[in-house]
Amino acid sequence: MPTKMLREFLDEQGIQYKAIPHQVAYTARQTASVTHVPRQELAKTVIVKIDGVMAMAVLPAAQEIDLSLLRTATGARCVILARESEFQDRFPECEIGAMPPFGNLYRMTVYVDESLTKDEHISFNAGSHYELLQISYEDFERAVKPRVLKFTALHETELLGAWHL
């Protein structure tokens, strides 16, 4: 079940969503595998500090965040990954690592990688490691108003192709 705050927000905004329950999975790769959601359409939320201010970087599970690209794209002096201990209290209804990409609900700016904008739908953790929500990207953009930037690189295995594994 999505967090109460997220569910209420989506309902208030009139956003239709599809819940996708699944067995417990802790990584984006595992989640994509057990849900059969393409990794390009599975959005993962990474908490970063941009010049000391917490923000969400939202990107496809098939890609990795490039902090130097994010730093350049935002014009920041410093961009680093936030430690769990620095943000865990901001998400009281969520399991750590399963925060939904709705920074507007948690007083955080949201940066979304431009590659996610090309998908009709996005799926994301709804506060737990056992359920995804899927909504249209258009609804996500309307509700969250993220800053769209380019800050990702493909995983090395994506570049080589699975046949190299």
pLDDT digits (tens, 9 = 90+) for 1-49: 568 899 999 999 999 999 999 999 998 888 988 898 888 889 999 999 9
**pLDDT(136) > 60:** yes
Q: Which domains does the chain have, with CATH numbers?
A: 4-156 (3.90.960.10)
**pTM, two decimal places:** 0.89
| Mean of pLDDT over the chain | 90
**Which of 47-61, 84-98, 117-131 has the largest mean confidence?**
47-61
Would you call 149 exposed, middle or buried from its count of C-beta atoms within 10 A (0-12, 13-18, 19+)? middle
- C-alpha 28/C-alpha 59 separation (Å) is 11
